[in-house]
Amino acid sequence: MSDIGFVRTEMLPEKDPPASEVGVIGWVRHNLFSSWLNAILTVLSIGAIYYVLSGVLPWIFQSVWNADSLSECREIMKGTWESTHGHACWGVIRERWLQLLFGFYPNHLYWRPILALVLLLAALSPILFSDKVSSKMLILTTAYPFIMPFLMWGGTIWGPVCAALGFVIGFLIIKHAAAAIGELWAMIAGVVAALIWWFILAGPVAGALSSVLPIGIEAVQSRQFGGFMLAIMLGVVAIGVSLPIGIVLALGRQSDLIIVKYICVGFIEFIRGVPLITLLFVASLLLNIFLPPGTNFDIILRVMIMMTLFSAAYMAEVIRGGLAALPRGQYEGADSLGLNYWQAQRLIIMPQALKISIPGIVSTFIGIFKDTTLVSIIGLFDVIGLASAIRADTAWNGIYWELFAFIAVLFFVVCFSMSRYSMYLERKLKTDHR
């Protein structure tokens, strides 16, 4: 008997997993070559990607920046690569990018649309990131609808101020008259007073104020608006205004008040039954014939109204989908708490319905933003319209893909950010009832 025994007294150190299972190699094995079929598909996909990139990358990077015309571009290409095929001529973008972004907006006033954009982001931040940004910023959000037109169109400051005063007047009447004459009558009186102010008094008052105290900045004509700036402006207005209108329409459609209900149904079905392009033609052509000669009903304002109505109808249906998805118990729960209709909507129904509708709402936003390019058909110079105008310049006639590539990048940046934000919002609001 020997008492030699082998007893391990300490644990072996942990070994690294086999090299084929971790790191890059492991990942590749698991994800790309886990079976013969997957391996074949992977090879084919890499081949396809290589084929596309081998065409696109040289086009993008072996390109000409310093040229003032297409023919100059071609000469440089011939000199450098002995062929004009497969090389982009970015000279057109270098020469015209400011025009593509701002249209014919006066050069020395570019700071105004830029400031308007920065303020827009600031004004949106308390809404978009309510948990990170102080709610004091909401003051800016409230003021923004009046700051933006002032910055963009310029002119006297009293126009936007008087427009804002209408809301203040309406609000004060609703707030203080409610005790005296009841809530409904106070609401009606407030709206009527605001309308009287806007349509009858505001014009002369603004005129008088600006003659007494001429504060203002250089005015810019609507005709000079254009480029991507126009797309953003139309998109922001249509998006910002259509959401509240859409909510009201969706609620109206579910209302028990029969007239309200059928007005909403009629509006939604009418607008959804007509292509946007038809509405734009109505805005640009039909209104011209109905209005008396010499009337100057701003074309951009007309287009904004039409696009807003159009997206509001779609928005209403998206939100109605959210409302329909709520269990009946939520409504009954709200009733049992003794909340009135508006309180129930604000505190119980809408937060849930809107959360459900986020993907649909953002899809509508992205859709209407891209639809802004349709205005090129009625002669407004948005990016697409400018692209054809640039091609009509003798220097750049014949250029095609470079302009559209640039426009595609611009739109992608904006639409992709909207899409990512909606995913962030969905994650943030996720309460996991699924």
Partner 1 sequence: MKKSVILGAMTFAGLAAGAASAGTLDDVKARGKLNCGVTTGLVGFAAPNANGEWEGFDVAVCRAVAAAVLGDSNAVEFVPTTGKTRFTALASGEIDMLARNTTWTFSRDVDLKFEFVGVNYYDGQGFMVPKELGVSSAKELDGATVCIQTGTTTELNLADFFRSNNISYEPVPIETNAEAQQQYLAGACDVYTTDASGLAATRATFDDPSGHVILPEIISKEPLGPLVRHGDHEWGDVVRWSLNALVAAEELGITSANLGEMAAGTENPEINRLLGTEGTLGEMLGLSADWAKNAIAAQGNYGEIFAKNIGEDTPVGLARGLNAQWTEGGLLYAPPFR
Task: List contacts with partner 1 (CB under 8 A).
Answer: 70-71, 74, 84, 95-96, 99, 103-104, 107, 159, 162-163, 198-200, 202-203, 206-207, 221, 223-224, 281, 284-285, 288-298, 301, 376-381, 385, 388-395, 397-398, 400
We find the least distance from the C-beta atom of residue 350 to partner 1, in angstroms, to be: 30
How many Cβ atoms from other residues are within 10 Å of residue 59's Cβ? Answer: 16
Of the two residues 103 and 252, which places its CB atom closer to partner 1 in the complex?
Answer: 103
Of the two residues 99 and 363, which places its CB atom closer to partner 1 in the complex?
Answer: 99
User: In the beta sheet, which residues pair with residue 64?
Assistant: 89
- Give the position of tokens 């014949």: 398
Of the two residues 70 and 123, which places its CB atom closer to partner 1 in the complex?
Answer: 70
Q: Using CA atoms, how far apart are residues 222 and 169, in angstroms rounded to an integer?
A: 29
Contacts of 369 (CB under 8 A, 6+ apart): 231, 235, 238, 239, 411, 414, 415, 418
Exposed e or buried b for every residue in 235-267, given b needs 16+ CB within 10 A? Answer: bbbbbbbbbebbbebbbbbeeeeeeeeeebeeb
We find the least distance from the C-beta atom of residue 398 to partner 1, in angstroms, to be: 3
**DSSP category for residue 372:** G
We find the least distance from the C-beta atom of residue 58 to partner 1, in angstroms, to be: 17
Q: What phi, psi does 77 have (nearest 5°)?
A: -60, -45
Of the two residues 111 and 297, which places its CB atom closer to partner 1 in the complex?
Answer: 297
Classified as helix, coil or strand, 377 is helix
We find the least distance from the C-beta atom of residue 282 to partner 1, in angstroms, to be: 11
We find the least distance from the C-beta atom of residue 223 to partner 1, in angstroms, to be: 6
Q: Using CA atoms, how far apart are residues 121 and 315, in angstroms rounded to an integer?
A: 22
Of the two residues 290 and 342, which places its CB atom closer to partner 1 in the complex?
Answer: 290
Q: What phi, psi does 70 have (nearest 5°)?
A: -65, -40
Q: Using CA atoms, how far apart are residues 342 and 50, in angstroms rounded to an integer?
A: 58
We find the least distance from the C-beta atom of residue 31 to partner 1, in angstroms, to be: 39
We find the least distance from the C-beta atom of residue 413 to partner 1, in angstroms, to be: 24
Of the two residues 56 and 200, which places its CB atom closer to partner 1 in the complex?
Answer: 200
Q: What phi, psi does 82 have (nearest 5°)?
A: 60, 15
Q: Are 116 and 244 in contact (CB under 8 A)?
A: no
- Give the position of tokens 């982009």: 88
Of the two residues 114 and 209, which places its CB atom closer to partner 1 in the complex?
Answer: 209
We find the least distance from the C-beta atom of residue 101 to partner 1, in angstroms, to be: 12
